[in-house]
Amino acid sequence: MRPTAVKSNRSLCLGHHHCWERVLGLLTRLGGASPLMHQPPPASCSSSSSSSSSSSCECARVGVRVSALAPAAAPCPAPRQLPYPRLPEPPSRGTSTLIPARLGPWCSPTGSPAPLSCETGCGEGSWILVCRLLVPTQVSLLSMEEDIDTRKINNSFLRDHSYATEADIISTVEFNHTGELLATGDKGGRVVIFQREQESKNQVHRRGEYNVYSTFQSHEPEFDYLKSLEIEEKINKIRWLPQQNAAYFLLSTNDKTVKLWKVSERDKRPEGYNLKDEEGRLRDPATITTLRVPVLRPMDLMVEATPRRVFANAHTYHINSISVNSDYETYMSADDLRINLWNFEITNQSFNIVDIKPANMEELTEVITAAEFHPHHCNTFVYSSSKGTIRLCDMRASALCDRHTKFFEEPEDPSNRSFFSEIISSISDVKFSHSGRYIMTRDYLTVKVWDLNMENRPIETYQVHDYLRSKLCSLYENDCIFDKFECVWNGSDSVIMTGSYNNFFRMFDRNTKRDVTLEASRENSKPRAILKPRKVCVGGKRRKDEISVDSLDFSKKILHTAWHPSENIIAVAATNNLYIFQDKVN
Amino acid sequence: MFARGLKRKCVGHEEDVEGALAGLKTVSSYSLQRQSLLDMSLVKLQLCHMLVEPNLCRSVLIANTVRQIQEEMTQDGTWRAVAPQAAGRAPLDRLVSTEILCRAAWEQEGACPAPGLGDGHTQGPVSDLCPVTSAQAPRHPQSSVWEMDGPRENRGSFHKSLDQIFETLETKNPSCMEELFSDVDSPYYDLDTVLTGMMGGARPGPCEGLEGLAPATPGPSASCKSDLGELDHVVEILVET
């Protein structure tokens, strides 16, 4: 039985007509009493095998079954001034059922749901906490077959948060193409994959929960003897491949090595061999008179992860990005000075497509900070630099794409000039929109949206935490100014999200131009409460519930977030905690 | 009333003498800010060499900041080349190259240090900017501090300069930075004074945020403390080797 991609029919618009269920509070993932049994894959949905509808990629594409993101994949021919095409209203889920209070094994219900209320603040709807997941420290040491023991150990470990170590700090978060799986990588080199709870008729409320699906040690610490330097095992990035068969594939990378992992399920095992005795010893062939054909019998579901490819020794500098090409045959890895193109099947060779290393290292003033392939055009990619520029390259132009096709840079604002101007202009993340029409960049204080057709300035600029502008010197001193925040699009490219300090994260609606600041923290997520918008008070009187700039905790930073590809479910990583929030359709 | 011919002391100097708490001339306060930023950046660069795997992006950004300050100081004419260690060296009119600042981070590919660095061009600013290292190894500035993978004798001098940094940073004294750069000829004020003395210069922008460090005493020592954590780590490595 093949697990199939679940097709989502949720609306991608956020709107005031969505009313929000109050949800209750959070416990650690395994605090509940329900057994942590892996759910068998869903019965194949009738409509789920639709192949990707529109692909404008010119290359021959391997047959891929991708859940259609109809709105996102639709070309956007409208001129820029018009609002982004409205998405069709979702087919109704019948009379929408209120999600009752109980949210699954890790949230204990306390009473009846509160009356629904529509969000009246910033237009991002209301967000409720679905679950808070602690990356388990010890699970990776146990085989996933031992569910009962795993649960016991996890229960005792995770209740006491002092067990969380620095190795548990989450360093990357990524949904797969259907949103069914959510992968996290941490500083200890581990990858933990969560799978979405499957909906069933009698447990509608469990939608949106994610359970641990698989966990494995992806990278180990290494020592480079030649340079006497340690190579960290921290996972810098995880990227999923679209699903092509029953197994899931993902790329994970640390500073130097990229690995392709295959995550597959096994729910049957062959039984009935008569060549071995009960203890597993081979029987004397003379005693065997018949040959029995083994029969496949169901067994407890086991998820195993195996490394299928290791792409090593191609990067002198630290890998900061990987990006799967839309042909699904190649991918690129980018370090500080070079970008390499790989074929998934070939591990001992890669093509260098960008090299900005100067002949004389004395002249080095700029490094590559992020890179990504265009979502539809397999010949196009962008990379960003520490000087705040983005270069778009076309691989058809030449083998070595040192000469860019397009160069995006915003002229500097002379009134804001300071010694820190260059540092805060350094781009920490670049992401194509799902439509392929826009790119979004994150620098220290802002998020910018660029139209690929306009190189001289972004079309939109959003201030993430401009109140930090006067604190740049102290942020430089404590190194916070070098923090690399990521940014993400929602499925319809209408909302963008990025993190900040004090466990705050921000969402900006591109259509309504409204924004909201939310907080991902245990203390502030009261049971059954909608996430309350937060506000930072800049000066003068501080109102109640506002927090002043000087009280911000700069050690609590949200660098990594992810947005479900088609639904309003977000994953926010705060140190070693993974928060999953969702909105709720009434 | 001043007698004819007697010059008054310049106002700025008087005020400095009184204690630089208030009324620092805007020009000198800006240059103080700039100088302290320069010092901070250099410390960061030095310390980043001691880390196991220096972050190239961070090093490049800091080096660019240092270069920017140097350019400005050169234009202002406040940039001073220290008298060269040996006679006959040309006064510096070339900015410190990035390589000098961030050698260890960028030469991991194994490129050998250019022997030409033995010439006079860069020893001036090196000793100006990095008196710690020049004090320790005046003859081999290009190799002692920055190469993590240098030969043993270099490690020795590296160790020595580390010691000096340890001492100065462990004093947990707001003037630890001052001791670190005590050889610097150019006027340098106690960082504490600088931080408390600034009331926001007329030039906004550069280091305006230093005001945010107004609780001056915890400021530098806090950074010293975080640096101590890194130094502990480095000591561990050195002891093991």
Domains detected in chain A = 127-139+164-583 (2.130.10.10)
Across chain A, mean pLDDT equals 76
Residue A496: pLDDT band by 50, 70, 90 thresholds? very high
Q: Annotate A185-237 with DSSP letters as a single string.
A: EETTSEEEEEEEPPP-GGGGGGTT-EEEEEEEE----EEETTTTEEE-----E
Mean of pLDDT values over A246-250: 96
Judge whether residue B178 has pLDDT over 90: no
Helix (H) or strand (E) holding B26: helix B26-50
More confident residue, A16 or A343: A343
More confident residue, B39 or A527: B39
Q: Would you state the torsion angle of the CA atoms of residues B153, B158, B160, B164, taken in this order, to the nearest 10 degrees?
A: 170
The angle formed by the CA atoms of residues B22, B23 and B29, to the nearest 5 degrees, is: 95
Three-state SS annotation for A483-510: CCCCEEECCCCCEEEEECECCEEEEEEC
Q: What is the pLDDT of residues A152-185, one digit of tens each?
A: 444 433 333 444 577 889 999 999 999 999 999 9
Judge whether residue A190 has pLDDT over 90: yes
Given an 8 Å threshold on Cβ–Cβ distance, is A422 in contact with B61? Answer: yes
Distance CA B103, CA B109 (A): 11
Judge whether residue B118 has pLDDT over 50: no
Which stretch, A17-31, A110-124, A287-301, A492-506, has highest mean pLDDT?
A492-506
Task: Count CB-CB contacts under 10 A for residue A511.
Answer: 14
**Residue closest to A505 by CA, chosen among A516, A489, A513:** A516
DSSP 8-class letter at A557: B
**Would you state the pLDDT for residue A403?**
86
- Cα A580 to its chain centre, rounded Å, is 11
**Residue closest to B29 by CA, chosen among B205, B198, B174:** B198
A228, A478, A482 ranked by CB distance to B223: nearest: A478
Residue A283: pLDDT band by 50, 70, 90 thresholds? confident
Residue at A91: amino acid letter: P
Mean of pLDDT values over A440-462: 97
**Would you state the pLDDT for residue A103?**
24
Q: Euclidean distance between the first and final Cα of chain B, in Å?
A: 69
The reply to whether B34 falls in a domain is: yes
Residue A460: pLDDT band by 50, 70, 90 thresholds? very high
The reply to whether B46 falls in a domain is: yes
User: Would you call A441 helix, strand, or coil by DSSP?
Assistant: strand
Distance CA B23, CA B11 (A): 10
CA dihedral for A534, A539, A544, A548, sign (positive or negative) = positive
**Would you state the pLDDT for residue A477?**
93
Q: Euclidean distance between the first and final Cα of chain A, in Å?
A: 34
Cβ contacts (< 8 Å) between A227 and chain B: which residues? 108, 148-149
Judge whether residue A566 has pLDDT over 70: yes
Residue A40: pLDDT band by 50, 70, 90 thresholds? very low
Q: What is the pLDDT of residues A319-347, one digit of tens each?
A: 999 999 999 999 999 999 999 999 999 99
Cβ contacts (< 8 Å) between A471 and chain B: which residues? 209, 212
Distance CA B230, CA A126 (A): 42
**Residue closest to B210 by CA, chosen among B188, B226, B222, B194:** B194
More confident residue, A63 or A416: A416
Least confidently predicted of A2-11, A21-30, A103-112: A103-112
- B43: nearest CA in chain A? A477
The reply to whether B155 falls in a domain is: no
Q: Tell me if A329 sits within 8 A of A62, measured CB to CB.
A: yes
How many angstroms away from the CA of B2 is the closest CA of chain A? 42
The answer to whether A535 contacts chain B (CB < 8 Å) is no
The reply to whether B62 falls in a domain is: yes
Distance CA A9, CA A91 (A): 7
Judge whether residue A70 has pLDDT over 50: no
The reply to whether B201 falls in a domain is: no
The reply to whether B71 falls in a domain is: yes
Judge whether residue A74 has pLDDT over 90: no
**How is residue A323 written in tokens?**
């990006």
Judge whether residue A238 has pLDDT over 60: yes
Judge whether residue A235 has pLDDT over 50: yes
User: Would you call A584 helix, strand, or coil by DSSP?
Assistant: coil
- Cα A180 to its chain centre, rounded Å, is 12
What number is the ipTM of this complex? 0.73
More confident residue, B101 or A251: A251
The reply to whether B48 falls in a domain is: yes
Judge whether residue B188 has pLDDT over 80: no
Query: Any idea which residue has 């926010």 for tokens?
Result: A572
Judge whether residue A304 has pLDDT over 60: yes
The answer to whether A492 contacts chain B (CB < 8 Å) is no
Q: What is the pLDDT of residues A415-433, one digit of tens each?
A: 888 999 999 999 999 999 9
Q: Is the pTM of this model over 0.80?
A: no
- Among B52, B57, B121, B122, most A C-beta atoms within 10 A, so best to mutate, is B57
Q: What is the pLDDT of residues A196-215, one digit of tens each?
A: 988 766 655 556 688 899 99
Q: Annotate A382-400 with DSSP letters as a single string.
A: EEEETTS-EEEEETTT-SS
The answer to whether A269 contacts chain B (CB < 8 Å) is no
Judge whether residue A543 has pLDDT over 90: no
Judge whether residue A279 has pLDDT over 50: yes
**Crossing angle for the helix pair B152-170 and B218-240, nearest 10 degrees?**
150
Number of domains within chain B:
1
What residues form DSSP beta bridges with A261?
A250, A307
More confident residue, A461 or A139: A461
Judge whether residue A437 has pLDDT over 90: yes
Given an 8 Å threshold on Cβ–Cβ distance, is A473 in contact with B213? Answer: yes
Distance CA B12, CA B31 (A): 13
| Beta strand A19-20 pairing with A117-118 | antiparallel
The reply to whether B36 falls in a domain is: yes
Distance CA A165, CA A170 (A): 11
- Percent of chain A beyond pLDDT 70? 70
Distance CA B232, CA B225 (A): 10
Query: Any idea which residue has 């978060």 for tokens?
Result: A173
Residue A17: pLDDT band by 50, 70, 90 thresholds? very low
Q: State the residue range of the domain holding B66.
A: 16-76
- Percent of chain A beyond pLDDT 90? 52
**Would you state the pLDDT for residue A392?**
97
Task: Count CB-CB contacts under 10 A for residue A201.
Answer: 5
**Would you state the pLDDT for residue A86?**
39
Distance CA A481, CA A506 (A): 18
